[in-house]
Amino acid sequence: MFTGVFSQFLAFTPRRSVTTYVIGILCVALGLFLRWAFIPLIHSATHLYLFLYVAILVSSFVGGLRAGIVSLVLSFFYILFATLTQPLGDLDGSMELRLTIFSTISLLSSYILSYIKNSYHFSMSVLNNLHSFVAILTPSGRFVDVNQSLLDTFGVSRHYIIGKSIFGNFPWKFPTAVSQQLKRALADANRGRSSRLDLKVVFSSQDVLFLDCQFAPVFDTQHNVVSVVVSASDITSRVNAERDVNKLNQSLQQKLSELNRSELKFKRLVSSNLIGVIVATLDGQIVEANEAFTAMTGYSQAEIEQGKLNWSAITPDEFKEADQRALTQLRDHREAQPYEKEYLRKDGERLPILLGIALIEGSEDKCVAFVVDITARKRLEKRKDEFIGLASHELKTPLTSIKVFTQLMERSLATAKDEKNLSYLLKIEKQISRLSSLVEDLLDVSKIEAGKLSLNYERVDLNQLVDNSVSAIQAITEDHQLTIEGEIRETAWVDPYRLEQVLTNLLTNAIKYSPKASQVVVQMEETPTEIQMRVTDFGVGIPDSQQTRVFEKFFRAQGKNRHSFPGLGLGLYLSKQIIDRHGGSIWLQSQEGKGSTFGFTIPKKGNVYYEKHHYGG
């Protein structure tokens, strides 16, 4: 136990070192020197004890307990030696007793002194090594002491800060509200109450520090407040983090409510059942569908929930190609242009629909699609097409009659050499031809709309075909010179009747839209797989704004001053349909006031794919 207590004593002493012994020896030497220096004035054994006692205290204070013990041992032996060699004046009695008392008192004093010193040193070093800030203030708020981490963080020296008031001028300041809080906390401490507050400190460099502070009173034995201890921890990163979290939270809340709102809108759209809405995977599985969808297709929610419904399986074969195109668009652009197709209802009936698809945000294989039932529109379109078909057929019948009779009359007049009436009749015939070609166009359109336009492919010498078309048109035009440039060496698989229709159409257009020009050029070119033809006029041209629409049904180009040219606006539409069906493409290059070039390409081998899939090869 003694060893334990002693080692605890020694814990307060610096480690054993030469310095310790030197201090112990030097202090005793100094004490003896001072005593010797004072001998003429004071000369007694009492003084020897006194000087050595002081020397031991100094030694303990400066060098710690170990140095004190060294001094004590030295003093002990010196007194012993001095007493034995020469009498020491006025002190009598037992020298052993005096030495024992001296040693005990010295040892205790030495211990207490070094304990006090070291425990102060210990406390200060604990404080200085604290991460928190500690300041000891007078009750009025002046700094008595501060720890190292406060000095480091606030960038001031101990010398600078000690004695100043916390409200004094520093390279930092507190916001007004905070100063008020500080005053209150100090006043509370003076009343003996601890208080806690958050401080905001603004440095002159604009850096901001947030502190969590505690003001605590320190009492003396009479319970008077003698000082105030302020401990504070830096909570800047916590405050900043909290602020960031708050901000994040706020924006998250906002996003969530936006999301909620948009989800509500979407839900409303889905539940309104105005249109069919489905969620499906790209490989066909329909995952969700609203009532509008189930109602129009005849399938049940249960079938969808069981994963039994596949959009690919309920699509008739002829729409698979359109579906593939939509899938390609989806992969490339995340959405597909709305397109028309058909689904097979559960009862086997076909359901014409308009379908728009978009990939779901953040998903690569799930899409949301709207499905609009267009049965009514299709029915109406069908009736319209049937009407056009019927009407033009009905128109054609009297035309056939009229044509027969005019031709008969023409023969009679020719035989009778009635030139005047014959010329009138020729004018009538010309108008009949025009009328019958308009009716022919209308019939063609109705066939296209009904999907009944079929091509009769033949191996055709295109030079011959172009020659025929150009000659036929040249025969009825007087103002324009039609020229052919280039030639095509290989024959091609085309429908000669339809291709001639296209050429005739482009040529009559070229003439019609260049009333003041005198030339129309037909150019022919070929590649190993394709032929290309271009018809160029030097007429009014087509404004940029109208160029994309010229191939639309019933579209008619308008010249300057809204001057329009006669026609139904079907020729270019039909031409495009015919070229498309040949597997080719048709285009326009035009400059208003300069003229237009209509060109098309078609493959030499015909549109093998289309015919195979639509007419069984």
Partner 1 sequence: MKNIIMVVDDDPGILEALEIVVSEIGYDVVPVSDAHVVVEEASKAMPHLILLDMFLSGMDGRDVTKALKLNPATKDIPVILMSADARVPEKSVEAGADGYLKKPFDLEVLEHLLSRFILQPKVTPST
Residue 303: CB atoms within 10 Å = 16
- Between 187 and 409, whose beta carbon lies closer to partner 1? 409
- Between 45 and 448, whose beta carbon lies closer to partner 1? 448
- Between 140 and 407, whose beta carbon lies closer to partner 1? 407
Position 431 contacts partner 1 (CB under 8 A): no
Residue 226: CB atoms within 10 Å = 14
We find the least distance from the C-beta atom of residue 441 to partner 1, in angstroms, to be 12
- Between 101 and 390, whose beta carbon lies closer to partner 1? 390
Distances (CA, A) of 291 to 127, 278, 303: 74, 10, 13
We find the least distance from the C-beta atom of residue 475 to partner 1, in angstroms, to be 15
- Between 393 and 594, whose beta carbon lies closer to partner 1? 393
- Between 261 and 393, whose beta carbon lies closer to partner 1? 393
- Between 81 and 497, whose beta carbon lies closer to partner 1? 497
E strand residue ranges, 489-576:
492-494, 519-526, 530-537
We find the least distance from the C-beta atom of residue 456 to partner 1, in angstroms, to be 7
Bridge partners (DSSP) of residue 196 are 214
Any idea what the Cα angle at residue 500 is, between residues 494 and 506, rounded to 5°?
A: 120
Residues 456/494, Cβ–Cβ less than 8 Å: no
Distance CA 505, CA 124 (A): 106
Instruction: Compose the 437-466 pattern: x for residues touching partner 1 by CB under 8 A, - for all others.
Output: ------xx---------x-x----------
How many residues lie near partner 1 (CB under 8 A)? 21
We find the least distance from the C-beta atom of residue 473 to partner 1, in angstroms, to be 18
Distance CA 81, CA 102 (A): 15
- Binding residue (CB under 8 A) for partner 1 from 497, 548, 552, 609: 497
Q: Which stretch binds partner 1 (CB under 8 A): 55-63, 132-140, 390-398, 480-488?
A: 390-398
Q: Which stretch binds partner 1 (CB under 8 A): 81-89, 111-119, 195-203, 391-399?
A: 391-399
Per DSSP bridges, beta strands 350-359 and 366-373 are antiparallel
Instruction: Compose the 396-415 pattern: x for residues touching partner 1 by CB under 8 A, - for all others.
Output: xxxxxx-xxx-xx--xx--x
We find the least distance from the C-beta atom of residue 390 to partner 1, in angstroms, to be 12
Q: Which stretch binds partner 1 (CB under 8 A): 296-304, 318-326, 436-444, 594-602?
A: 436-444
We find the least distance from the C-beta atom of residue 407 to partner 1, in angstroms, to be 5
We find the least distance from the C-beta atom of residue 294 to partner 1, in angstroms, to be 42
576-610 burial, b if ≥16 CB within 10 A, otherwise e? bbbbbbbbbebeeebebeebbbbbbbbbbebbeee
Q: Which stretch binds partner 1 (CB under 8 A): 19-27, 211-219, 389-397, 532-540?
A: 389-397
Per DSSP bridges, beta strands 481-485 and 519-526 are parallel
Nearest 10 degrees: Cα torsion 241, 245, 251, 256: 160
Distance CA 288, CA 366 (A): 11
Distance CA 67, CA 238 (A): 48
We find the least distance from the C-beta atom of residue 408 to partner 1, in angstroms, to be 6
What are 212-217's contacts with CB under 8 Å, separation 24+?
213/185, 215/185, 215/186, 215/188, 215/189, 216/189, 217/189, 217/190, 217/192, 217/193
- Between 363 and 401, whose beta carbon lies closer to partner 1? 401
- Between 10 and 402, whose beta carbon lies closer to partner 1? 402
Bridge partners (DSSP) of residue 137 are 143, 228
We find the least distance from the C-beta atom of residue 410 to partner 1, in angstroms, to be 9
Local structure of residue 319 (DSSP, 8 states): G
We find the least distance from the C-beta atom of residue 403 to partner 1, in angstroms, to be 4
Residues 56/113, Cβ–Cβ less than 8 Å: no
- Between 74 and 442, whose beta carbon lies closer to partner 1? 442
Distance CA 499, CA 492 (A): 11
Backbone torsions φ then ψ of 215, nearest 5 degrees: -105, 120
Residues 541/433, Cβ–Cβ less than 8 Å: no
We find the least distance from the C-beta atom of residue 608 to partner 1, in angstroms, to be 19
- Between 219 and 405, whose beta carbon lies closer to partner 1? 405
Would you tell me which residues interact with partner 1 (CB under 8 A)?
393, 396-401, 403-405, 407-408, 411-412, 415, 436, 443-444, 454, 456, 497
